Structure 1
Amino acid sequence: MLLQRVLTAVLLVAVLLPALLADHVLPFAVLTLVMLAAAGWEWARLNGWGGGRALLLGGAVAVTCGAGWWAGWADAAPMWLWWSAVLAWVLGGGVALRGGPAAWPHLPQGMRLALGWLILCVAWLALAAAKQRGVGFVLSALCVVWAADIAAYFGGRQFGRRKLAPSISPGKSWEGVWSGMVGVGLLAAAWLAAEASWPMLGPSVFSRLLATVGPLGLAAAVVLLCGLSVMGDLLESLAKRAVGAKDSSRLLPGHGGVLDRVDALLPVLPAVMALASG
Structure 2
Amino acid sequence: MLKQRVLTALWLLPLMLGMLFWANGAIWGLFCGVMTMLALWEYGRIVGFSRAVQRDYLLGNGFFLLTAWVANWQLPKFVWLLVLAFWLVVMPIWLRQKWQPKGTMAMLVGCVLMLPFWFGMMVLRPDGEAAGALLAVLVLVWIADSGAYFIGRKLGKRPLASVISPKKSWEGALGGWLIVLIYMCWAREWGWLGFEMNWFGTMLVSTILVAVSVGGDLLESWLKRAGGVKDSSQLLAGHGGVFDRIDSLIAVVAVYAAVMVLCA
Letter of the aligned partner of 1:94 in structure 2? P
Is residue 139 from structure 1 mapped to residue 130 from structure 2 by the alignment? no
Question: Which residue in the other structure is 2:29 paired with?
Answer: 29
Letter of the aligned partner of 1:118 in structure 2? V
**Contact 1:65/1:125 (<8 A) preserved:** no
**Contact 2:231/2:240 (<8 A) preserved:** yes
The structural deviation recorded for 1:32 is 1.7
Question: Which residue in the other structure is 1:198 paired with?
Answer: none
Question: Which residue in the other structure is 2:246 paired with?
Answer: 262
Normalised TM-score (structure 2): 0.91
**Contact 1:37/1:59 (<8 A) preserved:** no
Among all aligned residue pairs of Structure 1 and Structure 2, give the percentage whose two residues are the same amino acid: 33
The structural deviation recorded for 1:71 is 4.2
| Separation in structure 2 between the aligned mates of residue 55 and residue 45 of structure 1, nearest angstrom | 11
Question: Which residue in the other structure is 2:102 paired with?
Answer: 108
Number of residue-to-residue matches in the alignment = 260
Q: Secondary structure at the match of 2:185?
A: helix
Letter of the aligned partner of 1:204 in structure 2? W
Is residue 160 from structure 1 mapped to residue 156 from structure 2 by the alignment? yes
Question: Which residue in the other structure is 1:199 paired with?
Answer: none
Letter of the aligned partner of 1:67 in structure 2? T
Q: How does 1:59-74 map to 2 (within 5 A)?
A: 59-73=59-73
Letter of the aligned partner of 1:184 in structure 2? V
The structural deviation recorded for 1:137 is 1.2
The counterpart of 1:224, out of the listed 178, 198, 208, is 208
The counterpart of 2:88, out of the listed 80, 87, 90, is 90
**Contact 1:47/1:109 (<8 A) preserved:** no
| Separation in structure 2 between the aligned mates of residue 248 and residue 122 of structure 1, nearest angstrom | 20
**Contact 2:152/2:168 (<8 A) preserved:** yes
Letter of the aligned partner of 1:223 in structure 2? T
Is residue 243 from structure 1 mapped to residue 234 from structure 2 by the alignment? no
**Contact 1:85/1:267 (<8 A) preserved:** no
**Contact 2:48/2:227 (<8 A) preserved:** no
Question: Which residue in the other structure is 1:125 paired with?
Answer: 119
Q: Secondary structure at the match of 1:171?
A: strand
Is residue 171 from structure 1 mapped to residue 167 from structure 2 by the alignment? yes
**Contact 2:148/2:176 (<8 A) preserved:** yes
**Contact 1:37/1:58 (<8 A) preserved:** yes
Q: How does 1:210-221 map to 2 (within 5 A)?
A: 211=196, 213-221=197-205
Seen in structure 2, the aligned counterparts of structure 1 residues 204 and 62 have a Cα distance that, compared at 3 Å, is farther
Question: Which residue in the other structure is 1:204 paired with?
Answer: 192
Unmatched segments (≥5 aa) in structure 1 = 196-202
Q: Secondary structure at the match of 2:125?
A: helix
The structural deviation recorded for 1:233 is 0.5
Q: CA RMSD in A?
A: 1.9
Seen in structure 2, the aligned counterparts of structure 1 residues 57 and 146 have a Cα distance that, compared at 3 Å, is farther
Letter of the aligned partner of 2:123 in structure 1? A
The structural deviation recorded for 1:112 is 1.4
Using the TM superposition, name which of 51-60 and 250-259 deviates more. Answer: 51-60
Question: Which residue in the other structure is 1:41 paired with?
Answer: 41
| Separation in structure 2 between the aligned mates of residue 204 and residue 131 of structure 1, nearest angstrom | 12
Q: Secondary structure at the match of 2:160?
A: strand
**Contact 1:48/1:109 (<8 A) preserved:** no
Which string of whole-angstrom CA distances, capped at 9 and with x for unpartnered residues, describes residues 140-176 of structure 1? 1111111111111112122212211111011111122
State the structure with bigger RCO (CA 8 A, min sep 6), 1 or 2: 2
Is residue 180 from structure 1 mapped to residue 168 from structure 2 by the alignment? no
| Separation in structure 1 between the aligned mates of residue 217 and residue 87 of structure 2, nearest angstrom | 12
The structural deviation recorded for 1:43 is 0.6
Unmatched segments (≥5 aa) in structure 2 = none
